[in-house]
Amino acid sequence: MPLMDENLTAIMDEVIARNPGETEFHQAAREVLESLGPVVAKHPEYAGAEVVRRLCEPERQIIFRVPWTDDAGRVQLNRGFRVEFNSALGPYKGGLRFHPSVYLGIIKFLGFEQIFKNSLTGLPIGGAKGGSDFDPKGKSDAEVMRFCQSFMTELYRYLGEYTDVPAGDIGVGQREIGYLFGHYKRITNRYESGTLTGKGLSWGGSQVRTEATGYGTVYFVSEMLAATGDSFDGKQVVVSGSGNVAIYAIEKVHQLGGRVVACSDSNGYVFDDAGIDLELLKEIKTERRGRVEDYATLRGGAVRHVKDASIWEVPCEIALPCATQNELNGADARTLASHGCKVVAEGANMPSTPEAAVVFHEAGVRFAPGKAANAGGVATSALEMQQNASRDSWTFEHTDERLGAIMRSIHDRCLETASEYGRPGDYVAGANIAGFTKVADAMLAFGLI
């Protein structure tokens, strides 16, 4: 693994000192900084202008109170966040996460990742992330609506199609985007479609946005496989998670001839040797807002629900972690490698621990980091912004083609950049360096900002 030079080590120490306790942010920053040694050696102008140091400090951070009333009329309180990390390439862009684990360190790690991911898409979008420790699980639609309205009542003043454009993430789907957009429209008196992405198709949304993160991850893996003359055909695949990313990753793997035999949620995983029945999974997750355990019950037969166990114990040739951060650790990575897994691509943000990444590297498992492999979601958000700006709407086929081309170009740029900087085949180095240089060059061009 590459070491950081003295200057990068000092920046990393400063990140830790200035952001105490924000371990996920430290992890995300370290992972990028560890790739930048050869870049700053080749480009002394970056060090001279302290580009890396400035990049590690968000341009703006907003933390706010979100009061709301539950269905019993009791006052509830949550905390809202928006970290506007970097706007060198375009308006701040990135999702909102509603989950009880959310605190500043999670939002900062996600916002930091988003800078490089968005840069890799080649589209004009800066990096941001937001959210709340609100837990939508078990809440009524009316409670979710009141929460979203209260959240937007504060956040709206920081948003705008040229300023900051949120979207969904864990716990925020089309229902929440609807409530947020409706309230934004009402308080601003502007039908400003390009202020939020992930909208419904009848009110400014884009075809393929729902499918884009999962589809994009699988398109990326197709390119990884094609690079060695291989394909999905006949491959056994494991996809962790069972939310939006996982569902559409499974769908695309099946369309390309692979077989996904397991998926999961926070209570455990289901193993279905015949291949996950996607219609059933979709119905359980999107209509009933249920759990994967219900899948085993309803599907019956030989399907097993394994409680409180790691899905990575299921043998596979391709693993797609699509659940959440740090869901795949060093021991899981060793298990995957020992079962003959050859390719891992992150559909979620930072699902592999640093130790897992080292294990993959040493075992020769080809590993694509989330900022490259899951960029299809935000890329399609940028396509949604394009359609909103031109008051147009594209067909599913056209949008899907654009997504495929973007994922191909990210894949190729990762490999080319990795080779250029002496790390052939290293998707982590390629993604970090290619994502970084575009942002760094824009920051240099702007003078001291």
Q: Which residues bind ligand GLU (CB under 6 A)?
A: 93-95, 117, 167, 169, 197, 349, 377-378, 381
Give residue 368's Cα distance to chain centre.
Answer: 13
* Dihedral sign, Cα of residue 325, residue 169, residue 246, residue 290: positive
- Which residue has the CB atom at the shortest distance from ligand GLU? 95
Characterize 146-178 residue by residue with b for buried, 16 or more Cβ atoms within 10 angstroms of its Cβ, and e for exposed.
bbbbbbbbebbebbbbeebbbbbbbbbbbbbbb
Query: Beta-carbon neighbour count of residue 37 at 10 Å?
Result: 18
User: Cβ of residue 159: shortest distance to ligand GLU, in angstroms?
Assistant: 12
Nearest to 89 by CA among 54, 118, 112, 62: 118
Q: Which is nearer to ligand GLU, 90 or 258 (CB)?
A: 90
Residue nearer to ligand GLU on the CB measure, 69 or 163:
163
Whether 129 sits among the annotated catalytic residues: the reply is: yes
Least distance between ligand GLU and beta carbon 188 (Å): 20
Cβ at position 301, least distance to ligand GLU in Å: 35
Where residue 187 falls (left for φ over 0; alpha for ψ -120 to 50; beta otherwise) is alpha
Shortest distance, CB of residue 349 to ligand GLU, whole angstroms? Answer: 5
CB 404 within 8 Å of CB 379: no
Closest CB 385 distance from ligand GLU, rounded Å: 9
CA atoms within 13 A on the CB side of 210: 15
Q: Are 427 and 26 a contacting pair, CB within 8 Å?
A: no
The answer to whether the beta carbons of residues 97 and 133 sit under 8 Å apart is no
> Of the two residues 97 and 299, which places its CB atom closer to ligand GLU in the complex?
97
- Distance, CA of 146 to CA of 75 (rounded, Å): 11
Q: Which is nearer to ligand GLU, 83 or 314 (CB)?
A: 83
Question: Which listed residue (108, 117, 129, 371) is catalytic?
Answer: 129
Evaluate whether 166 touches 94 at the Cβ level (below 8 Å): yes
Minimum gap (Å) between residue 341 Cβ and ligand GLU: 24
**CB-nearer residue toward ligand GLU: 19 or 381:** 381
Q: What are the angstrom distances between the C-alpha of 190 and each of 163, 180, 186, 187?
A: 15, 13, 7, 8
Q: If you search the block for the tokens 């040229």, which residue do you land on?
A: 162
Kindly tell me which of 36 and 379 has the beta carbon lying closer to ligand GLU. Answer: 379
Q: How far apart are CA 211 and CA 383, in angstroms?
A: 13
| Smaller CB separation from ligand GLU, 120 or 253 | 120
Shortest Å distance, C-beta 211 to ligand GLU? 13
Least distance to ligand GLU, CB of residue 180, Å: 13
Nearer to ligand GLU, 109 or 269 (CB): 109
Distance CA 111, CA 107 (A): 6
For strands 236-240 and 268-271, give the pairing: unpaired
Q: Is the CB of residue 287 less than 8 Å from the CB of residue 205?
A: no
Task: List residues with catalytic annotation.
Answer: 129
